[in-house]
Homo-oligomer: A and B are copies of this chain.
Amino acid sequence: MKVTIKETISRCRTAGLRRTKALEELLATLLESPRPMTLSELASSDRLTEQCDKATVFRLLQRLTEHGVIRRLGLHERAAYFTLILPGKHSDYLICTSCGSIEPIKAPCPVHQLEDEIREKTGYKNLYHELEFFGVCPQCA
């Protein structure tokens, strides 16, 4: 069953957000998108470009993220991280969304098999993955 705009808006209302045109169009855009979108993409999308300012989209995204309606992928500390590639070694990370601490995960990575399948099925070259777990660490909680 497909998630409707109506349902999604009502989740927002429950969270205490006001029902504005900008909110509706933003949610509709994200619902229709098969993939995650950036702030810029959203702000310049058909539905939103005429509708509202980029700052508004930014603040909406911010609020929706806080209320757990949407999720921000990839960049959590606004800067890219670099790590040495150690031959034969691979690390996944556990990151605290509150204090920003990052620690490598010791457990064996469960993704390699899927990675092999993807390599075969899609024909992508130089395939690798990133796996990050996010949550609030005991100190912050």
Give A residues with C-beta under 8 Å from B. 3, 8, 27, 30-31, 33-40, 42, 61, 65, 68-86, 93-94, 96-97, 102-105, 107, 110-111, 113-115, 117-119, 122-138, 141
* Shortest 8 CB-CB contacts between residues of A and residues of B: A124-B135, A36-B81, A127-B135, A36-B83, A38-B79, A75-B80, A75-B75, A73-B81
Give the complex CA separation of A122 and B115 in angstroms.
26
Beyond the given pairs A35-B93, A69-B85, A124-B138, 6 more chain A to chain B contacts, judged by CB atoms under 8 angstroms and listed by A's residue number, are A61-B82, A72-B81, A75-B79, A125-B136, A127-B133, A130-B130
Q: Which residues of B contact A124 (CB under 8 A)?
A: 94, 96, 133, 135-138, 141
